[in-house]
Chains A and B, each alone.
Chain A
Amino acid sequence: MDFINSIVLLLNYIFVPALSYGSQLALGAIFVSLIYGILRFAYFTAGDLMSFGTMFTILFTWYFQSLGISLGVLPTALLAIPFGVIITILYVLAKDKLIFSYYRTKKSPPVMLAMVSIGTMFVTQAIVRIIIGPFDRRFFDGEKFILKANEFKEMTGLNEGLSIKSTQVLTLLVTIIVVSILFWFLNKTKTGKSMRAYSDNEDLALLSGIDPKKVVMITWVIAAILATVGGTLYGLDKSFKPFTYFNNMLPIFAAAIVGGIGNPFGAFLGGYVIAFSEILITYAYKKFFIYILPESLEPDGLLQLLSTDYKFAVSFSILVIVLLFRPSGIFKGKII
């Protein structure tokens, strides 16, 4: 019984939260990785693009709520996501036309483009804060829990409860759907294949008649979709605050590099690597060991490898270690 209790404990505090946080990071990491592979620069606006998309999703959610439209047990935001996506797509395409295309045709070095993306980061951040303000916003409605801790305890007769929030399941489901469509698109369709060819070898791809404008446009569209979906899921699960989204840029970059930047599948797994290691290393294992060890060996301390304050630091340390020992990432991205 104690053994099952300990497993449930880990499921409840580590596995389920890490899985949903990892999915949210993975969506961000995939588009950072795609932009790095195809447009060839580090896109520092990543976190703020997510907050931009989420902001419009929230605005539409509020609009629908004021009209009395809702999805019942599901959050209304799901209905608003497509509208948020459309506005974000228009925004990134306008940005590309006005700003990035100039440097691309001039063949500026990647560092220059990264600097430009810092400029757009400032602007995007300003737009988000001017429109919706810097405060914490919650926009979740519908049924909060699929499985409550108490119900689980009654059901199984265990000491430990397992609670599953509907947003966690939603995150996982949406991520699976979006990512499988994306990988199907990249691997099976002609456009997707041309994108991968462009990413591997630009000159060869141009020689074989691939239209670079189309490739770039599709990349931005995918980035906008992933940013909005990922951002909205994060906002539903936790809450929406522009500053947190900006900070999320850092673990997203860590995930993209750990997975091998320029390699979308690696970035997808990198998101989970980062999320799991953050939570595994900062979790206090005291209760877990109380369950599985005999009473005489019960630990005194919290048995926490690092305090939760160092959550971010963990993912960054992993990044540093990966950069040292395997600079191209776990799943062989572009060689540095």
Chain B
Amino acid sequence: MKQYSDVISAYAIMLGLIILVGFFQSWNIALSILCFCLISAVMTMGANIQWGYAGLINFGIMGYTALGGLAAVLVSVPPVKEAWQVGGLQMFVCLLIIASIVFAVRYVLNKYQKTNKRNYIIAFIIISGLIFLRLISGPAIHLIESVNPATTGFLGGMGLPIVFSWIVGAFFAGALAYVIGKIALGLRADYLAIATLLISEIVIAVIKHEDWLARGVKNVIGLKRPVPYEVDLQSTQWFINLVEKFNQGTLNLVNDVLEREQLLKQLVIDGSTVFVKLCYAGLFSIVVIILLIVTQKALYSPWGRMMRAIRDNDEAANAMGKNVVKQHLLIFVLGSAVVGIAGAMMVTYDGLFTPGSYRPMRYTFLIWVMVIVGGSGNNFGAILGGFAVWFLWIEAAPTSLYLINFFTSGLEETNALRIHLVNSIPYFRLLVMGTALLLVMRYRPKGILPEKIKQN
């Protein structure tokens, strides 16, 4: 118990802060911060599996998050029958062409020695395949996108409950990570960082501009929810009863019947949004807890010990007969799959998929700040990092507004400097993040909750 005292106190402080937000701002804000904290925690756990366990740098987190989001769209949206009729077959043929290109390249790679001739053959296969792909997909894409472009204009999804997408998102992200890992894992650490960063930009570019897939920058909105809608709740009797019971004290103070009814109505509306967010928080907590148990088990298993050995000295691990390349690929896929889950969860929570909003600052570098600040190699640290940094990211704006008002209280309301500072409040959060990262790296390089290795 004693060894966990710092973990418990750190989490208690974090929860206390969120509860304080609930009292001082509103429970609605506090709960949405909590939900995003949980999502961030999942992302951070994914990055931590790669960086903390195996020392692999992955700056492609944005790409996997977006793929998870894409999975949410493809799973939950009902299929657009017309679009499938006009272009479904061609798109299926394209899929086959891509598969045959991959198999042909693999065949050539296995069959021939490493020569220039082999490179030329591969280049020829890829280029001719791409030309075929364009010839077949071009007209089909045009047809699909012209099916009712204001609302659909894409193939749609499978029409399943959106919760399934959390698993599908993991598979999507894992598959991408497998391809990237095959290409890039042999690179030195900082090259790997740059390569993954650039590849994730390619992924975003594809999702943004292939409108037939998920409407691109036209966004998909109104995704189905796994939890009840506020409007339905407000007319459900048991929920009204629940709110009435919960607020007995406040309601009893009001004597007038009409006034009492109005107050109840307001309370029910407020209560419904809080209730929905509570449901989300509950669902997300389940994911976080399952992942925590699994990762914790993995970390202290023989496999986890092997990963640490590979991280700390891959040459020695190799000499002991461990297949470093294979394990690196495995952990790269696993970590990315976890990030994919988080991406699907985020789109589920938002109820919309906006490819234009995926930017490296928010989805790659911020997650890395979380990993470093929280403590790499420690799952509790990773989750805490997700919580603490997201909390700071959101609360930096109100705090800096307060501080600016405090320090410029000597100046007049119309002072140009004061107005300028107040207008640029959203950017103070970048300053806060950067400073936090630099301070942690300087004075606590292992993070708030450093890695602990159990010795038997």
Contacts and interface: CB of A to CB of B under 8 A. Distances in A.
Interface in B172-191: 183-184, 186-191
Contacts of A126: 427-431, 434
A103 B86 CA distance: 60
Contacts of B183: 320, 323-324
Contacts of A134: 427
Given A127-B431, A307-B209, A119 B191 contact: no
A129 B424 contact: yes
B441 interface: yes
B149 to A, nearest CB: 17
A133 interface: yes
Nearest to A325: B119
B306 interface: no
A259 B305 CA distance: 39
Contact of B201 (A102, A123, A316): A316
A105 B437 CA distance: 20
Contacts of B242: none
B368 A254 contact: no
Q: Which secondary structure dominates chain A's binding surface?
A: helix
A185 interface: no
Q: How large is the interface on A (under 10, 10 to 19, 20 to 34, 35 or more residues)?
A: 35 or more
Contact of A125 (B57, B202, B430): B430
Interface string A234-273: 0000000000001000100110010000000000000000
B11 interface: no
B197 interface: yes
Contact of A319 (B198, B368, B438): B198
Nearest to B189: A111
Interface string A298-336: 000100000101101100110110011101000000001
A123 B434 contact: yes
Which of the listed residues B187, B194, B205, B431 has the most CB atoms from chain A within 10 Å of its own CB?
B194
Contacts of B10: none
A129 B430 contact: yes
B240 to A, nearest CB: 46
Contact of A119 (B188, B424, B427, B438): B438
A309 B194 contact: no
A123 B198 contact: no
B199 interface: yes
A123 B202 contact: no
A126 B441 CA distance: 19
A215 interface: no
B198 A309 contact: no
Interface string B196-213: 011101100110110000
B430 A327 contact: no
A130 interface: yes
Interface string B384-405: 0000000000000000000000
Nearest to B203: A313
A310 B208 CA distance: 10
Interface in B330-380: 361, 365, 368-369, 372
A309 B208 contact: yes
A176 to B, nearest CB: 28
A320 B189 CA distance: 15
B112 to A, nearest CB: 15
B206 A118 contact: no
A99 B201 contact: no
B209 A310 contact: yes
A310 B205 contact: yes
A41 interface: yes
B433 interface: yes
A176 B445 CA distance: 43
7 contacts: A116-B438, A121-B365, A133-B424, A309-B205, A309-B208, A313-B202, A327-B186
Interface of B: 57, 119, 138, 183-184, 186-191, 193-195, 197-199, 201-202, 205-206, 208-209, 361, 365, 368-369, 372, 421, 423-424, 427-431, 433-435, 437-438, 441-442, 445
Given A111-B190, A121-B365, 15 more contacts: A119-B434, A120-B438, A123-B431, A130-B421, A130-B431, A250-B197, A250-B198, A313-B202, A320-B184, A320-B195, A320-B198, A323-B187, A323-B191, A327-B186, A336-B191
